[in-house]
């Protein structure tokens, strides 16, 4: 029968029958559709069962390889004594060059120290002339003093003769001769005392100029020694690795050194390497000395190295391009590998906790309401089950109580989640 005939006959029926038949038809069509939709929706729910076995909690950081032991190649340590406070690198050997002991490494700009050396030489010459002049002045002054004392001695003898001859003269003349003799004698004694004082004065003057001269001589000697060390040579055999500034940048041609931080480069001992990494203040409490580490090289991701945390900084620091404080962590590489080089980037997976024979579930399956943690289980129906969690990592959590190894757990809330009542742990006891 054609559809048009069915419709025409349906329209001829009484109104009550049309409503009744329409309702029956709607039930026949809609109910199966609803059931089909629910079945389709339920079939999209994803379940997991708890994993059983070992559970690891790790922290992954990026580090940089560095030799544990190295020899520093430094600029002249006498620079401060020479009055040089900044030294600029004017020439530097290429990083990674293998050098022998005594080989050229770097040159420092000598313009400042050369200028100071010339000033010191002129000052030394001036002081040397003053020293010579002081000795000549002293010699002349003491010679004159001695001549005066000799003259006074003869004058005293003359006064003595006059005094002796005056014994036959009048008392006044005799008294005058006595006074002249005593005055000359006193003058001679005073001249002798003055000579001792002048001698000491000359010695002190010569010593003062001599001290300045010796001070300038030592300064000039230091400068001569320092200027020779502005050509920096390798203290041992090894591979040159540039030192770094306070901001982490490598020292290159044009970088400035100071007497307090004069390291230009290092000669690392490549037999023992460590990775220097920085951990944020949130995770640093989990890091401890002695923890095991698995390292991967960015240059060779397939290569894995074993390491151990050897040092955890107690004080945080602000690193460039970082908004939060970080703490330095040093990781010793247990494996010896001749391909390892300083400054290689490493991915460090630090094992901070481990548990054996435990159940764990994905974090996606864990839900929280207030202080209650729960999961949705598929048992005889859907159950909203409270759980107690233990260790957690970035992907999963250990379940201490609330589920068994055979339970199926919803990865996302089911459609009936809003109507379910929480099944507490106490209720399951």
Domain ranges of the chain: 3-42, 47-53+358-428, 70-109+230-257, 113-228, 268-355
Q: 168: helix, coil or strand?
A: helix
- Span 113-228 CATH architecture: Orthogonal Bundle (1.10)
Closest CA to 106 of 265, 261, 223: 265
pLDDT at 248: 77
Q: How far apart (Å, rounded) are the C-alpha atoms in residues 288 and 311?
A: 8
Class of domain 47-53+358-428: mainly beta
pLDDT at 36: 46
CB 219 within 8 A of CB 116: no
pLDDT at 29: 52
- Show the tokens assigned to 387: 């759980």
Q: How many Å from the N-terminal Cα to the C-terminal Cα in the chain?
A: 66
Print burial letters for 1-14: b (CB count within 10 Å at least 16), e (below 16).
eeeeeeeeeeeeee
Closest CA to 41 of 414, 419, 420: 414
CATH 3.40.50.2000 is the classification of domain 70-109+230-257: no
Closest CA to 399 of 428, 423, 365, 427: 365
For 129, other C-beta atoms within 10 Å of its C-beta total: 12
pLDDT at 425: 84
- Span 268-355 CATH architecture: Beta Barrel (2.40)
Q: DSSP class of residue 413? A: -
Q: How far apart (Å, rounded) are the C-alpha atoms in residues 411 and 361?
A: 9
pLDDT at 244: 87
Closest CA to 393 of 367, 354, 425, 343: 354
Grouped pLDDT means (10 residues each) for the chain, 429 residues: 51 56 58 47 72 93 91 90 90 92 94 92 94 93 91 90 85 88 90 91 92 93 91 92 86 91 91 92 92 92 92 88 86 88 92 93 92 90 91 92 90 87 75
3-state helix vs strand vs coil in the chain, percent to 5: 40, 30, 30
β-bridge mates for residue 170, sequence order: none
CB 152 within 8 A of CB 185: no
CB 355 within 8 A of CB 51: no
The angle at the Cα of 305, spanning 300 to 307, to the nearest 5 degrees, equals 140
pLDDT at 101: 93
β-bridge mates for residue 261, sequence order: 258
pLDDT at 14: 60
């Amino acid at each position: 029968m054609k559809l048009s005939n069915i419709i025409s006959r349906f329209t001829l029926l009484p109104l009550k029958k049309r409503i009744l038949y329409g309702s029956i038809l709607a039930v026949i069509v809609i109910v199966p559709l609803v059931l089909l939709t629910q079945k389709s929706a339920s079939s999209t729910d994803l379940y997991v069962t708890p994993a059983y076995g070992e559970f690891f909690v790790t922290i992954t950081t990026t580090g940089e390889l560095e030799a544990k032991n190295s020899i520093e190649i430094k600029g002249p340590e006498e620079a401060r004594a020479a009055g040089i406070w900044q030294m600029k690198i004017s020439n530097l050997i290429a990083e990674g060059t293998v050098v022998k002991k005594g080989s050229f490494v770097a040159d420092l700009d000598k313009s400042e120290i050369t200028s100071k050396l010339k000033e010191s030489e002129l000052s030394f010459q001036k002081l040397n002339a003053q020293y010579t002049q002081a000795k000549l002045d002293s010699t002349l002054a003491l010679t004159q003093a001695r001549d005066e004392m000799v003259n006074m001695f003869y004058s005293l003898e003359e006064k003595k003769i006059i005094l002796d001859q005056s014994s036959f003269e009048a008392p006044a003349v005799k008294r005058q001769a006595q006074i002249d003799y005593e005055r000359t004698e006193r003058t001679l004694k005073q001249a002798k005392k003055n000579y001792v004082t002048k001698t000491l004065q000359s010695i002190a003057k010569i010593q003062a100029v001599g001290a300045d001269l010796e001070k300038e001589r030592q300064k000039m000697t230091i400068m001569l020694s320092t200027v020779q060390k502005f050509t920096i040579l390798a203290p041992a055999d090894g591979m040159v690795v540039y030192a770094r500034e306070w901001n982490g940048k490598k020292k290159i041609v044009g970088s400035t050194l100071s007497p307090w931080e004069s390291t230009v480069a290092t000669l690392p001992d490549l037999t023992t390497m460590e990775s220097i990494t920085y951990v944020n203040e949130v995770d640093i409490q989990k890091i401890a000395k002695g923890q095991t580490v698995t390292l991967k090289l960015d240059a060779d991701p397939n290569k894995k190295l074993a390491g151990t945390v050897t040092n955890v900084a107690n004080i945080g620091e602000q690193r460039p391009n970082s908004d939060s404080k970080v703490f330095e962590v040093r990781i010793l590489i247990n494996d010896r590998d001749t391909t390892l080089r300083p400054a290689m980037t490493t991915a460090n997976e630090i094992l901070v906790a481990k548990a054996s024979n435990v159940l764990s579930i994905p974090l996606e399956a864990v839900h929280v309401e207030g202080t209650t943690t729960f999961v949705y289980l598929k048992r005889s129906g859907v159950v909203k089950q409270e759980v107690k969690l233990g260790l957690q990592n970035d992907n999963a959590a250990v379940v201490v109580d609330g589920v068994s190894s055979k339970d199926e757990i919803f990865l996302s809330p089911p459609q009936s989640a809003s109507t379910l009542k929480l099944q507490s742990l106490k209720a399951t006891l």
